[in-house]
Amino acid sequence: MKHPNHPNVDQSDRVVPYNLRQSGRTPVELLISTRVRKSPFWHLSIEAGCWRATTYNRIYHPRGYVKPEDGGMMAEYDALVNRVTMWNVAVERQIQVKGPDAEAFVNYVITRDATKIKPGNGKYAILCNDKGGILNDPVLLRLTEDEFWFSISDTDLMLWLQGVNVGKKYNVSIDEIDVCPVQIQGPLSENLMAKLAGEAVSDIPFYGLMETKIKGVDIVISQTGFTGEKGYEIYVRDAHQNAEIVWNSVLEAGEEFGLQVVAPAHHRRIAAGILSWGQDMDFETSPFQVNLSYQVPRNKQADYIGKEELERQRAIIDGGDFPFKMRMVGLTFGGKQITDYAPDFWLIADADGNDMGYITSPWWSPELNTNIALGWVPTTSSEVGTKLQVRLPDEYSESSGVPAEGEIVDVPFRESVNPNIREVVKSKGLDYAE
């Protein structure tokens, strides 16, 4: 039941273990064809200097604007944390659930209580299968009493939602809609958004929504984003018709603030402890393994998919045990500065050099002056302060074949402008598991 490539890394909890072969970077060209969608911002991203892309939700996704020889991803990081940036995130497909039973249906498919989300607000949410595995972790927007948008991460969530309703028959329509977002992130984001949409932007609370127009185009603005910085998302309605109007308006208004078009800031989201579905977690991951226990409320009376299994898991945890062999932790470690995406899951060893886990999301933190990462280790070796080693590839190793020294630390790694639940709980000295 253990992974055949690295048998000391226990993945026996999983049906499909992660491939931990250390293959390095893959020297192939990404094929651009018609079977993967090009978003209405795609050509605009190319004009802005996009030089590489990945696929996400079967849409091409820009993942680099500044060339490595000009500073690469860390130059983009500088623009994010010191000025303001715009991202093409049309890959966040918008799945609309609308109709008289919208609240009841949404409440059945998410773990947290949808009845507490008031119109004009949103929440970070997760959806689980009946085994308690995380299927998706969208930003869930409630436009009106009977209309929700799931701004989804990298899975075909619409198909799942439609499949659930084949049997349940809630009185709702479930469709992808022609709405595409861009993110405006950084300390000057509020200044830019106020210039674009008026001073009322400053009154939008964290996860609040505002419907307005930019040069006649209907948009929805939320104060959300994939960083720990101040930021917003602009959801462009009828995006295939209006993409250029909104994009170019942002570029024009952003000139005085030093706006820069950049790729999604995985370096900053790691520092904030924000997870990436498919990279840090997937449908075999329980929320209790990845610090998302607050997404499983104790007092939600209504039934929801996965409730029975998640409550079983929590009962075991409440009894003083942990029903999983592995859990996610934060860690700091040495080696050369990691300034780009990792192409592999790098192995984690214990202090004696025995392989025991793997890193999912590493990067260099300029503020902390160290490499940081999210990774999976055995539950028995997951305490903060635990010493470990990271087997880095030669490009990041100080000495070939010699692992870097590391340590498990608290997550998030640094403060956020809008503290998430983990930060709030930590600052109040509370038990996060509650």
How large is the angle between the packed helices 157-168 and 102-109, nearest 10 degrees? 110
Q: What is the pLDDT along the chain (434 residues), one digit of tens a residue?
A: 556 688 899 999 999 989 998 778 878 888 889 999 999 999 999 999 999 999 999 999 999 999 999 999 999 999 999 999 999 999 999 999 999 999 999 999 999 999 999 999 999 999 999 999 999 999 999 999 999 999 999 999 999 999 999 999 999 999 999 999 999 999 999 999 999 999 999 999 999 999 999 999 999 999 999 999 999 999 999 999 999 999 999 999 999 999 999 999 999 999 999 999 999 999 999 999 999 999 999 999 999 999 999 999 999 999 999 999 999 999 999 999 999 999 999 999 999 999 999 999 999 999 999 999 999 999 999 999 999 999 999 999 999 989 999 999 999 999 887 766 556 655 565 444 33
Residue 5, in any domain of the structure? no
Residue 70 vs residues 74, 97, 185: alpha-carbon distances, Å: 10, 44, 21
What CATH number should be reported for the domain holding residue 291? Answer: 3.30.1360.120
Closest CA to 178 of 30, 383, 41, 24: 41
Residue 290, in any domain of the structure? yes
Quick one: pLDDT at residue 5?
81
Residue 363, in any domain of the structure? yes
Which residues span the domain enclosing 337? 277-427
Nearest-5° angle of CA 239, CA 241, CA 242?
65
**End-to-end CA, the chain:** 33
C-alpha 295/C-alpha 289 separation (Å) is 12
Number of Cβ within 10 Å of residue 259's Cβ equals 22
Quick one: pLDDT at residue 30?
87
Token pair for 200? 């009322």
Tell me: cis bond preceding 412? Omega within 30 of 0 counts: yes
Residue 33, in any domain of the structure? no
Contact (CB, 8 A) for 12 and 325: yes
Quick one: pLDDT at residue 337?
98
C-alpha 24/C-alpha 180 separation (Å) is 34
Closest CA to 131 of 285, 322, 289: 285
Quick one: pLDDT at residue 22?
74
What domain count does the chain have? 1
Residue 332, in any domain of the structure? yes
**By CB neighbour count within 10 A (0-12 exposed, 13-18 middle, 19+ buried), where does 129 fall?**
middle
CA 204 remoteness from chain centre: 22
Longest CA–CA span in the chain (Å) reads: 63
Quick one: pLDDT at residue 25?
84
Residue 177, in any domain of the structure? no
What is the share, in percent, of the chain residues with pLDDT greater than 90? 90
Residue 339, in any domain of the structure? yes
Quick one: pLDDT at residue 433?
39
Closest CA to 206 of 231, 169, 189: 231
- pLDDT single digits (tens) 94-127: 999 999 999 999 999 999 999 999 999 999 999 9
Quick one: pLDDT at residue 432?
42
Residue 398, in any domain of the structure? yes
Three-state DSSP class for residue 396: coil
Beta strands 355-365; 121-124: pairing state? unpaired
User: Tokens 């990041």 correspond to what residue?
Assistant: 396
> What integer best gives the mean pLDDT of the chain?
95
Contact (CB, 8 A) for 366 and 265: no
Could you give the residue ranges of the DSSP H alpha helices within 293-349? 307-318
